[in-house]
Structure 1
Amino acid sequence: MSISNITPKIIELTKRKLLSNPNHPLSILRSKMYSFVHKTYPGVFITKDDYDPVVGVRENFDNLLIAPDHPSRRPSDTYYIDENTVLRTHTTAHDCEMLKNHNAFLMTGDVYRRDEIDSTHYPAFHQLEGGRVWNKSEFSFAAQEKAHDFALTELKGMLEGLARECFGDVEMRWYDNYFPFVDPGLELEIRWKDNWMEVLGCGVYHPQVLRNAGKSDDFFGLAFGIGLERWAMKVFDIPDIRLFWSEDQRFLSQFSATKGITKFKSFSKFPLCYKDISFWVPEKFEENDFFELVREVGGDLVERVEKTDKFSKGDKTSYCFRVNYRSMERNLTNEEIDELQFRLREKAVADLKITLR
C-alpha cells in the first residue's frame, strides 16, 4: 500500500469538530455522561478530548493485538494516509498513551470507517472511550481470577448506571463477545421500544495491552467504548445519522446545553429520488469501495444504498445497487440526480474496473 485512500469528503469531515459546539446533541450527551461518571467516582477519572484523529498503525492496531490479517486493517475498511498512518477507527487507539500517565480516563473523539450507506452508518462518527486500572498491591488477591472478577463487577456497575442515566430504567442483559484488546470481552444490550439494542463493547484489559502501555504485570483493569451517535439517535429521537453533520438551523436550533436532552421534532422530508446501477464485478471487488465512491460523488445527498440483485452467469457475477438520493434541506431535481448518476457510472468504470450492464 503506497497511496492514500482518503477522499476530499473525508478530509472535510476531519475539520468539522462537532464536539467543539456545546449545543450540539453529541456534546450535550457527552456532558451528561461525563457528569454521571465524575459524580459517581469523584476525582478518579481525567478527561481528554483533543487527540488528533491521525494515528499510527501501531497505535490503532498493533498495540491492541489486532492481528495483521484482521479484516479491519484492509483498505476497504480503514482510511489510510500511508502504509504506517491511518485515520483512527476507534478511540481505543489512544488507550496505551493514556495509560502511560493515568490510571483512569475518559475521552471522546471523531473516528472514521469505510462502511455501508444507510440511516445509521456514516464514514465519520464519535466514540466515548473509558479505561481504569488498579495495582494488585492495593488488594489481597490471591489469584488472577479474583482481579478479573473485581474488574468485571466494577465495569458492569458503572456501565449499567451510565445506561440508566441516559436511557432511563431499561431492561439490560450482558453477553460475551470478542475484542482482541480485552479478555474477557462483553457487550451490553438494552431493551428499547420492545427491541434489544447493543449499546457498548467492553471488557478486562488484556495483560499484553497493559504491557504495551508500560504497565507492569501488577496492573489490571477495565475498558469500554460507546458510539455517541448510536446513543444520541435513541435518546434524542434523531432518525438519520446525517443530521448530526447538517448545518440546517431547523435541526441545530432545537438543541442547547441549557435544555439538556430534548426530543427532536421532525420537519418535512423532501422527496426521494432513486437510481439503479447494474454491473459485472471484477475478480477483486469490495462493496465498501463502491459505497465510498457513491459517497464521493453524491455526498450527503445519498440517503441509502442497497443491493437489489445478484446473479451469476458462467464465471461472471452481476450486482445491481439502488442509490436513494434525498436532501435534508431542499428539493432535488431530476437533472442534478441524472448528472450525479452519470458521474457515478463513469467513475465506477474508471476506478473500480467494473463493466456496466
Structure 2
Amino acid sequence: MLQYATNIVKIRQKLVKHFRCSSTSAKPNLTDTITINNKTFKRDDYTNITDKIVCLAQKSLHTTPHHPISLVRQRIVNYFYKTFLNSRRNPLFSVYDNLSPIVSLAQNFDSLLIPENHPSRLKSDCYYINREYLLRAHTTAHQAELIRAGLDNFLIVGDVYRRDEIDSKHYPVFHQLDAVRLKTKDQLFSCENDLKLFDCDDTACIPGGPTKQRCHTFEAFKLMEHELKTTLVGLAKELFGNQVRYRWVDTSFPFTQPSWELEVYYNNEWLEILGCGIMMQSLLTNVGVNNRIGWAFGLGLERIAMCLFKIQDIRLFWSNDSGFLNQFKDDDLKSPIIYKPISQHPQCIHDISFWLPEDKTDSLSFCSNDFYDLVRNVAGDLVEQVLLVDQFTHPKSGKKSLCYRIIYRHMERTLTNAEVNEVHQLIECAASDQFGVTIR
C-alpha cells in the first residue's frame, strides 16, 4: 500500500513537470499568460487551449513541400489558376496561405453572421485563448477582411482548430481551403444592360433558407448558382477523375443562402467533400460592398487527402516518419500515389472509469471534449481512439460515473505494457487533478 502511494506521488510529480493543466473546469490563473506563435496573451476564465495544441499551431503542413496536405492544396490551387483567367491570361484568384490562425471573436463569428447563441461558439467546440481571441475554427474567418481590402477572387488555406472526439478520422487540428468569388452586374450579365443584380434594397434575409435571397434577382441568382456548381463539379472531377459520381444536397449555413453540400460516391458510400452557397448579401454590405453578388465554398484538405492517397489514420499527417513522408516525394501532382503502411503495430487497450464530482456545478460543466483534450495533452499521438463506453448513475447517491476506453497504438513501433501503463496512470492523475473526479 505504501509503495502504491509512493508511485502515485511520483506520477503526480512527473505530471506537473511535463504537462501544465488547462481546462474549462479548473479555475484559471488570471495573472498567467500564454504564448502562441511568438504572441503573448493573458489567460482568463475562457482559456481552454492546451499545450498540445500550442505545439501543433507552430506547424504549417499545408505549405510543407511534398506533404500530402500540401499536394492536395496545390492541385486545387492549380485548378483555379487554369479555370479562371483575366483578359491577359493571368489567374484571377489570389492565394492566402500564411494568415495567422489567431483571430478575434468578431472575425470568427460576427463577420459571418453567426448568432450569439449558435452552438459553434461554445467552449466545448472551440479553442479559446481568452474572451477576445481564439484559434480559428474555419478559414472563413478571414473572408470579411479580405473583401474589405478590395479582393473579389481569392483562396484561403490554413490550419483550423476544433475540439472533437478522438478516432482515426478526427484530429483537433486540420486544414481547410476556402474560396470567394464576387461579380459586378457588368461581369455577370456582360452586354445585357436590362438585367439587374438586385430586386430591392432589403438585405435582411433569414439565413439558411432553401430559396434565393429576396434581394437578388432570379437571373443573377441562377447565373451565380450555375457558375458555382459547374466550378465545383469540375473540381471534383479534377480530384477524383472524370467518371466520379456526384450529387448536390440542400443544407444551411449562417453565411450563405441557398447552401449546398457536394457529395461524391467513394468506397461504396456517399462522401460529403465540401459546403458552398450564395453569400449572404448582408455579409457584403457590412464590409462596404454594395454592387456585387458572390459565391463561396469551403472544404477540408485531410478528407480529400485520405481518399486520394488511401490514408487510414489522420494522425499520420503529423508524423515525422520518413517511411510515411518519402512516399509523397513526387514532382508530378497528378501521380496516383497510394500510401503503403510500413507495418501494423498492435493496440493496447485500457479503460478508465471515474465518478464525477458530487458538486453539481462541477459535474454539469464536464464534457467529453474536456477529457479528450486532457488525453491528447498527456499522451499525444500515442492514442488512436477514445470511446465513451459506459455511463452509470448511482440509484441512491445520484453520483454519475463515466467509463472511457482508451486505445493506444504507436504509428512507428510496438508499445510496451510498461510505458502504456505509465501513460495511463498519468491520465488518471491528470483527470483527478484537473476535473476533481474520483478514479474507480
Q: What TM-score, normalized by structure 1, do the two folds share?
A: 0.96
Task: Supply the distance in 2 between the matched residues of 1:7 and 1:325 (Cα, whole angstroms).
Answer: 20
Task: Supply the distance in 2 between the matched residues of 1:110 and 1:189 (Cα, whole angstroms).
Answer: 23
Verify: 1:130 aligned to 2:179, yes or no: yes
User: Structure 1, residues 168-215: CA drift from partner, whole Å, max 9, x if none?
Assistant: 121111111111011111111110021110100111101121123321
Deviation for aligned residue 1:270: 1.2
Aligned residue identity for 1:251: F
Structure 1 counterpart of 2:104, from 43, 56, 67:
56
Deviation for aligned residue 1:22: 1.8
How do 1:171-250 and structure 2 match up within 5 A?
A: 171-216=245-290, 218-250=291-323
Contact map agreement 1:174 1:187 (CA 8 A) in 2: yes
1:265 is aligned to: 340
User: Structure 1, residues 16-69: CA drift from partner, whole Å, max 9, x if none?
Assistant: 111222211111111111111111112221111110000111000011111112
Q: Secondary structure at the match of 2:364?
A: coil
Task: Supply the distance in 1 between the matched residues of 2:106 and 2:383 (Cα, whole angstroms).
Answer: 34
User: Structure 1, residues 228-267: CA drift from partner, whole Å, max 9, x if none?
Assistant: 0000000011111000110000000001241334111111
1:316 is aligned to: 399
Deviation for aligned residue 1:272: 0.7
Segments of 5+ residues of structure 1 without an aligned counterpart are none
Verify: 1:97 aligned to 2:145, yes or no: yes
2:325 is aligned to: 252
Verify: 1:339 aligned to 2:422, yes or no: yes
Task: Supply the distance in 2 between the matched residues of 1:76 and 1:68 (Cα, whole angstroms).
Answer: 15
1:299 is aligned to: 380
Aligned residue identity for 1:75: K
Runs (4 or more) in structure 1 with deviation over 6 Å come to none
Task: Supply the distance in 1 between the matched residues of 2:185 and 2:400 (Cα, whole angstroms).
Answer: 57
Contact map agreement 1:129 1:226 (CA 8 A) in 2: yes
Contact map agreement 1:236 1:264 (CA 8 A) in 2: yes
Deviation for aligned residue 1:137: 4.7
Aligned residue identity for 1:184: P
Contact map agreement 1:310 1:317 (CA 8 A) in 2: yes
Deviation for aligned residue 1:92: 0.1
Q: Secondary structure at the match of 2:328?
A: coil
1:39 is aligned to: 82
Task: Supply the distance in 1 between the matched residues of 2:437 and 2:275 (Cα, whole angstroms).
Answer: 37
Task: Supply the distance in 1 between the matched residues of 2:365 and 2:96 (Cα, whole angstroms).
Answer: 41
Deviation for aligned residue 1:3: 4.7
How do 1:77-96 and structure 2 match up within 5 A?
A: 77-96=125-144
Deviation for aligned residue 1:95: 0.5
Task: Supply the distance in 1 between the matched residues of 2:183 and 2:413 (Cα, whole angstroms).
Answer: 54
Contact map agreement 1:59 1:93 (CA 8 A) in 2: yes
Segments of 5+ residues of structure 2 without an aligned counterpart are 1-43, 86-90, 190-194, 200-215, 357-362
Contact map agreement 2:224 2:294 (CA 8 A) in 1: yes
Q: What TM-score, normalized by structure 2, do the two folds share?
A: 0.78
Aligned residues: 356
Higher strand share: 1
1:355 is aligned to: 438
Q: Secondary structure at the match of 1:186?
A: strand
Task: Supply the distance in 2 between the matched residues of 1:68 and 1:248 (Cα, whole angstroms).
Answer: 43
